[in-house]
Copies of this chain bind each other. A is one copy, B any other.
Amino acid sequence: MSRWKPNAEGRFRAAAMELFIERSYEQTTVADIAERAGLTPRTFFRHFADKREVLFNGSARLQEAMLSAVRAAPAHAVAIEAIVAALDGMVAFFGDDRAPARLRRSIVASTPELRERELIKLATLSATLAEAMRARGINEPDASLAAEGAIAVFRVAFAQWLDESELRSLGEIVSASLNRLGTIVAANGPKCSSLRSSRS
């Protein structure tokens, strides 16, 4: 019997998904996952920083997809062009099949611990996007604002995409949301509306 098991991470992920569905995330211990994967708990933590990470494999690939889309954008793109490219890359990453995303969301949504992790992944995505925009000559605070706005649009649109039936594609929803955000925020008077500058 060989001691070395090929594709340990894949084994862990598959075992974890099975157990998270059979029971739930909370009622599954790392020992359970390791047992089903035919490995030990100690090895689990050599492949994943913590129990949550086993569910967040895709975030690195999503980030890569977003980044290469931004870098492929025209050279002197302004902020809006950069985030449109980023959103485009993210939309392409997910394709048409909502089922896996829905399944994953049902697991993540069921546990505060996992919702927290999801948020930090999105925040990382936002920070990475802002950084990429700065690297293309878009300065602060535009880079951060545009990045935060883009991720916010994506989050809202993505949730809608999962909630509604197969009517509109993700791209259509994202596009509509981006336009909607523009309409909303642009309704603000050029001078700052009624926000009082509270110098005490």
Chain B neighbourhood of A181, CB < 8 A: 145-146, 149, 185
Partner of A119 from B116, B145, B149, B199 at Cβ < 8 Å:
B116
Interface flags, A160-177, vs B, CB<8A=1, else 0 = 100000000111101111
Among A7-15, A19-27, A77-85, A100-108, which stretch is in contact with chain B? A77-85
Report whether A156 and B179 are in contact in the complex, using a CB–CB cutoff of 8 Å. no
Partner of A198 from B117, B171, B182 at Cβ < 8 Å:
B171
Report whether B141 and A148 are in contact in the complex, using a CB–CB cutoff of 8 Å. no
How far does the Cβ of A171 sit from chain B's closest Cβ, in whole Å? 4
Report whether A88 and B196 are in contact in the complex, using a CB–CB cutoff of 8 Å. yes
Partner of A180 from B141, B160, B171 at Cβ < 8 Å:
B141
Chain B neighbourhood of A200, CB < 8 A: 95-96
Interface status of A62 (Cβ within 8 A of chain B): no
Interface status of A184 (Cβ within 8 A of chain B): yes
Chain B neighbourhood of A176, CB < 8 A: 192
Interface flags, A86-99, vs B, CB<8A=1, else 0 = 01100110011000
Report whether B84 and A169 are in contact in the complex, using a CB–CB cutoff of 8 Å. no
Known: A152-B152, A155-B148, A156-B141. Is A169-B197 also a contact (CB below 8 A)? Answer: yes
Q: In the assembly, what is the distance between CA of A91 and CA of B199, in Å? A: 10
Interface status of A190 (Cβ within 8 A of chain B): yes
Interface status of A188 (Cβ within 8 A of chain B): yes
Can you list 20 A-B contacts with CB-CB less than 8 angstroms, sorted by A residue number?
Answer: A80-B187, A80-B188, A84-B194, A84-B195, A95-B200, A119-B120, A141-B156, A142-B180, A142-B184, A145-B152, A146-B181, A149-B152, A149-B184, A170-B198, A172-B197, A175-B192, A175-B197, A178-B185, A178-B192, A182-B188
